[in-house]
Amino acid sequence: MPAAEAFSPPRRIELPLTREKAAPLRAGDRLLLSGVIYTARDAAHRRLDALLDGKQPLPFPLEDACIYYSGPSPAPPGMPIGSAGPTTSYRMDAWAPRLLMLGLRGMIGKGDRSDEVIRAIKWAGAVYLGAIGGAGALLSGCITESEVIAFEDLGTEAIRRLTVKDFPATVAIDSRGGNLYREGRRGYLADRQGGFTP
């Protein structure tokens, strides 16, 4: 990433995340998201998959939606939510391609994705965003509303509808397949060997 880009201000994105909004985003771009996102981890993804198998309606519209891989802690008094950090995304790799094919446009989590998920991201014109691991309390400050909308029996893994304001995320995999995890690693190794020019 050129040095000038490393210090450019984050881009503000109003959700929902349409294909047109996702298309110009590139791996490494810093974003501030505002609007509605939905939490879902592996237990919720299994249930979404079962609903689709049974041709049942989903608890939220997938088209242009953004799923945050998070299981927030209970809300302290006077707060809409507790700590809400990202979980490891590969746990959702088995279900992500199907959801992307049905219109899901964004996913937020931490860690790299499988080649199958990356192919589905490119096909769907979607993006995968990285959130800061270990900073759940900080991220919860960007959440203004939280409502359980499905699978309440799952507790922390229930699906929640979150309203966020300036929620920070970085484009980890863009709609062309650019991958910050892999490209960043190559740049770091080249720099260590004296071959990287910023």
Q: What digits encode the pLDDT tens for the residues 148-189?
A: 999 999 999 999 999 999 999 999 999 999 999 987 655 545
* DSSP β-bridge partners for residue 35: 164
- Mean pLDDT over residues 12-32, rounded? 97
Q: Are 122 and 177 in contact (CB under 8 A)?
A: yes
pLDDT of the residue at 132: 82
User: Which residues form the domain of 174?
Assistant: 3-192
In a domain, 150, yes or no: yes
Q: Which amino acid is residue 77, in one-letter code?
A: P
Q: What is the DSSP letter of 76?
A: P
How many domains is the chain partitioned into structurally? 1
For residue 95, pLDDT over 70 is answered with: yes
SS3 198: coil
Average pLDDT estimate for 123-138: 86
Q: Does 115 reside within a domain?
A: yes
197 phi, psi to nearest 5 deg: -115, 115
The stretch 1-13 carries a mean pLDDT of 69
Tell whether 134 is covered by a domain: yes
Spatial distance between the Cα atoms of 92 and 67, rounded to a whole number of angstroms = 11
Token readout for 157 is: 């893994």
Q: Is 113:128 a contact under the CB 8 Å cutoff? A: yes
Is pTM, for the whole model, over 0.85? yes
Q: Flag whether 66 is in a domain.
A: yes
197 found inside a domain: no
Within a domain: 29:
yes
Residue 55 belongs to a domain: yes
Please check whether residue 170 is in contact with residue 110, taking contact to mean a CB–CB distance below 8 angstroms: no
pLDDT of residue 194: 58
pLDDT band at 70 (very low <50, low <70, confident <90, very high): very high
Indicate whether 179 belongs to any domain: yes
Write the CATH number for 58.
3.20.130.10
What pLDDT does 138 receive? 78
Q: Which residue carries 């490393």 as its tokens?
A: 6
